[in-house]
Amino acid sequence: MDRKPWGIGVAGLGTVGAGLLTFLSENPDFAPAGGMAYVSGVSARSRSRPRPFDISGLPWFDDPVALATAESTDIFVELIGGSDGPAKAAVEAALKAGKPVVTANKALIAEHGAELAALAEAQNVPLLFEAAVMGGVPAVKVVREALVGDDIHSISGILNGTCNYILTEMEATGRSFEDVLAEAQRLGYAEADPTMDVGGFDAAHKITILAALAFGCAPNYAAAEIEGIDQVALLDIRMAKDLGYRIKLVASAERSIHGALVRVHPTLAPLDHPLARAGGALNALFIEGERTGRIFLQGPGAGAAPTAAAVSADIADVIAGAVRPVFQAPAATLAPFDPVDPSKLMSRAYLRFLVKDEPGVIAAVSETLAEAGVSIESFLQKPTEGAEGVPIVLTTHAVAESVLTAAVDRIAGLPAVLDRPRLLRIARI
């Protein structure tokens, strides 16, 4: 039986783009039904840049918009990156021209997903983005398709391999954040400008997408609470481990009667918990459903081969004629999730204070917490050689976060406190 050829226009020839070109050249008939895929054109910032794949025989487009709307492009694959600029312009052009779009661009979907979904549905063409979250781990398909018959209450996990690598290496080697970050950049785990990763923004884009899929709402990246790992000190990693925890950058989305809480922040996970055991550059994700209970996914969250495999899976869905809403419901019915008022949030916390080594300091800290209504669960004082002061670490019972932050502000003003107190949340897992 003859199989229809499908021209794949690829914009963006970085790590993932090169991986995709290699895959398509070696597996043109990978799609299970409906046709064969071939690269009909490519576009990137530089035509002459050295690449692991020879593009000299492929049609070149200086403008990704021209590639997106070219007659030879049956499916447009956007791997440029960035929430605006040429990536957004090319995707919009492709959708308006009635071209199916596959993208790995989490920033684009998290910040403009609702309007792009409306464009796709108006033209009755797919907009797919499996590779935007967790690379080769099919998190998007699990949430959007496999769990469509369930009511998902919460999603939480490790969604940024760069941060996971840095925190793992800090603990294993005893080196500072700055030293390990420099090594991660040399190894290619971190970008020259690592802000998107270590600032928590990359993970926030991903959890925003998963929240929209899980809760049937429009992506609302602007409402996400974001804190990165750039302020996580080696001292905190050591003290947390002494208390039986490991620090991870956890992205979470939780639905409640008050709205939806979407946040990214360093979190203490018990040492025997699967999130604590996911080391190196791995990604890991828990999904909690009403009927299915808890599901755990783990695997490579980035890299040429895993991410190209996710892009290829979306291409195969287009070729096979799979049809579904971009999110859980038609775009016109999607409303942004309402953020939760912090006064309604309850958390256990890790607090670390650097104080003067003098009588009465511990009593002053304890009294301030008690007056604010914060109950202490455990306490650890461990003098550190060469430190300016004495670190005091304690964990609290669950308390409203607004109460907790107000108490920390009061303690910061005590004369014996030498530095801003460090507050980290303890995972509710």
Tell me which residues are annotated as active site.
206
Long-range contacts of the stretch 385-388 (C-beta < 8 A, 24+): 387/354, 388/354, 388/418
The answer to whether residues 173 and 180 touch, using CB atoms and an 8 Å cutoff, is yes
Tell me which residue has tokens 């487009």: 61
Indicate the SS3 state at residue 239.
helix
d(CA 126, CA 326): 7
Write the burial class of residue 406 (CB in 10 Å: 0-12 exposed, 13-18 middle, 19+ buried): middle
Write the DSSP string, 191-231: -SS-HHHHTSHHHHHHHHHHHHHHHT-B--GGG-EE--STT
What residues contact residue 415 under an 8 Å CB cut-off, 6+ apart? none
Half-sphere exposure of 257 (CA within 13 A, CB side): 1
Q: Treating both helix axes as pointing N-terminal to C-terminal, what angle do 161-173 and 234-242 enclose, rounded to 10 degrees?
A: 70
The answer to whether residues 419 and 235 touch, using CB atoms and an 8 Å cutoff, is no
Structural tokens at position 105:
């661009």
Indicate the SS3 state at residue 305.
helix
Indicate the SS3 state at residue 68.
helix
Residue type, 34: G
- DSSP element (H, E) containing 234: helix 234-242
